[in-house]
Amino acid sequence: MAAAKGTGAMPWRSDVREIVVEEEMPGDFQTTFRLRVDGNVIAENMTELETQFLVSEMLERIPSLSVAASDDAEQTLER
């Protein structure tokens, strides 16, 4: 994975308010992406796959989302 540039702190916490994925070169077919969390750049020059992986890892670590996902799974099984 590309080295993160910016604050250097990974926001693995439950108070994340905003995750933004930006194209580094908008309109470029083989663009790379920049990832911002709460306005801070945490990674640059990432491929689409690397970006998807990092965002999914962050979302999995937010407790309220994990509880909501497990509640939905339980309700589906009960039906």
- Segments making up each domain of the chain, as ranges: 19-78
Cβ atoms of 35 and 10 within 8 Å: the answer is no
pLDDT tens-place string over residues 3-18: 444 444 444 555 778 8
DSSP, res 3: P
Give the separation between CA 77 and CA 41, rounded to whole angstroms. Answer: 40
pLDDT tens-place string over residues 60-71: 887 776 666 666
* Closest residue by Cα to residue 23 from 31, 15, 11: 31
Model pTM score: 0.60
